[in-house]
């Protein structure tokens, strides 16, 4: 069978908001038949060396990965980077700046939740944080489930932590062009993550794809754990229209929370250029 047979280029570890370690993810990826893997923690490359070594130990090929939080037209969008040099200092600095506001934002989220009668959420969320530099809404969601405020994390994100609901603190993330440049200048390829998940108009979406491409972005996730078949078809068409390569990743976070497990995804449409063909010399 030709390589890769089963690429999964999007998931999270305890270094951001996943619940498994890089080593546990590598073992799970191998057990699920993944042969090309990438760990893409939010705004953080602190898990890359461990992931690289764990992949080697499991016999998996590996591309370095990251998922950068970006503010575009007042909306949060995510840009995945693949195949960059994870020791690049400019990338490290950009990611450090992007992470910077997370602490104060989390304190404010806790204060908002306290005002609607949910006490101790900041301290509670902190108990789930594996990396003190990276506290996210997911950690609050786990606390709200554990304390019985909500049944599952999906309910948390319906009732809390999203725009218009208690616990939502607007935040300005990295700029699109900066995120793309941190990735490309360190030798990687930038990828628009899960494009169907953004609450943006077709006009803003067109602007996102156009500007992403102008900044040097080269790929889009067509197959992800959060795309329906219709959404995959829609973004396959966008990839053709904008001349972008296609990526494939589960966005796996946790055995208890994620609907799509590592490697359990449909294939990329056969006519699209797989993103890893742009990264042949970056595969470990």
**Tokens 């690049």, residue located:** 88
Q: How far is the CB of 42 from ligand AMP (least distance, A)?
A: 6
Interacting residue with Mn ion among 43, 88, 251, 261 (CB under 5 A) = 251
Interacting residue with Mn ion among 28, 78, 86, 137 (CB under 5 A) = 78
Residue facing Mn ion at closest CB distance: 78
**Cβ(58)–Cβ(29) under 8 Å?**
yes
Binding status of residue 69 toward ligand AMP by CB under 6 A: yes
Instruction: Name the binder of 247 from ligand AMP, Mn ion, none, CB < 5-8 A by kind.
Output: none
Binding status of residue 194 toward ligand AMP by CB under 6 A: no
What is the C-alpha R_g of the chain? Answer: 18
Binding status of residue 99 toward ligand AMP by CB under 6 A: no
CA atoms of 204 and 94, how far apart (whole Å): 25
Binding status of residue 157 toward ligand AMP by CB under 6 A: yes
Binding status of residue 136 toward ligand AMP by CB under 6 A: yes
Report 132-161 residues binding Mn ion (CB under 5 A): none
CA atoms of 16 and 46, how far apart (whole Å): 9
Report 239-258 residues binding ligand AMP (CB under 6 A): 253
How many residues interact with ligand AMP (rule CB under 6 A)?
10
Q: How far is the CB of 208 from ligand AMP (least distance, A)?
A: 18
In the shown chain, the binding pattern of residues 2 to 41 toward ligand AMP, with x for contact by CB under 6 A and - for none, equals: ---------------x------------------------
Instruction: Name the binder of 69 from Mn ion, ligand AMP, none, CB < 5-8 A by kind.
Output: ligand AMP
Q: Which is nearer to Mn ion, 14 or 55 (CB)?
A: 14
Contact region with ligand AMP (CB under 6 A), list: 27-35, 86-94, 133-141, 174-182:
133-141
Q: Which is nearer to Mn ion, 76 or 114 (CB)?
A: 76
Contact region with Mn ion (CB under 5 A), list: 27-35, 56-64, 114-122, 251-259:
251-259
Q: What is the 3-state secondary structure (H, E, C) of the chain?
A: CCCCCCEECCECCCCCCCCCCHHHHHHHHHHCCCCEECCCCECCCCCHHHHHHHHHHHCCEECCEEEEEEEECCEEEEEEEECCCCCCHHHHHHHHHHHCCHHHHHHHHHHHHHHCCCCCHHHHHHCCCCCCCCCCHHHHHHHHHHCCCCCCHHHHHHHCCCCCCCCCCCCCCECHHHHHHHHHHCCCEEEECCHHHCCCCHHHHHHHHHHHHHCCCCEEEEEECCCCHHHHHHHHHHHHHHCCEEEEECCECCCCCCCCCCCCCCCCCCCCCEHHHHHHHHCC
Which residues sit at the interface with ligand AMP, rule CB under 6 A? 17, 42, 69, 136-138, 153-154, 157, 253
């Amino acid at each position: 069978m030709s390589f890769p047979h089963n690429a999964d280029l999007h998931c999270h570890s305890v270094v951001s908001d996943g619940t498994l370690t890089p080593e546990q993810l590598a073992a799970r990826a191998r057990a699920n038949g993944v042969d090309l893997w990438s760990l893409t923690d939010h705004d953080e490359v602190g898990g890359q060396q461990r992931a690289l070594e764990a992949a080697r130990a499991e016999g998996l090929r590996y591309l370095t990965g990251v998922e950068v939080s970006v503010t575009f037209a007042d909306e949060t969008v995510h840009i995945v980077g693949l195949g960059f040099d994870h020791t690049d200092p400019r990338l490290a600095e950009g990611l450090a700046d992007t992470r910077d506001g997370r602490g104060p934002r989390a304190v404010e989220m806790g204060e908002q939740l306290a005002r609607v009668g949910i006490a101790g959420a900041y301290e509670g969320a902190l108990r789930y944080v594996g990396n003190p530099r990276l506290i996210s809404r997911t950690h609050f969601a786990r606390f709200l489930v554990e304390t019985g405020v909500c049944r599952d994390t999906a309910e948390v994100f319906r009732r809390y932590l999203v725009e218009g609901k208690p616990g939502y603190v607007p935040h300005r993330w990295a700029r699109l062009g900066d995120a793309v440049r941190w990735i490309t200048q360190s030798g990687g390829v930038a990828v628009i993550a899960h494009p169907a998940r953004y609450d943006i108009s077709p006009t803003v979406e067109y602007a996102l794809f156009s500007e992403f491409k102008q900044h040097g972005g080269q790929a889009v996730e067509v197959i992800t754990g959060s795309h329906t078949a219709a959404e995959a078809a829609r973004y396959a068409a966008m990839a053709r229209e904008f001349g972008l390569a296609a990526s494939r990743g589960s966005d796996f976070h946790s055995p208890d929370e994620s609907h799509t497990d590592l490697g359990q995804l449909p294939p990329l449409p056969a006519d699209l250029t797989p993103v890893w063909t742009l990264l042949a010399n970056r595969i470990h």
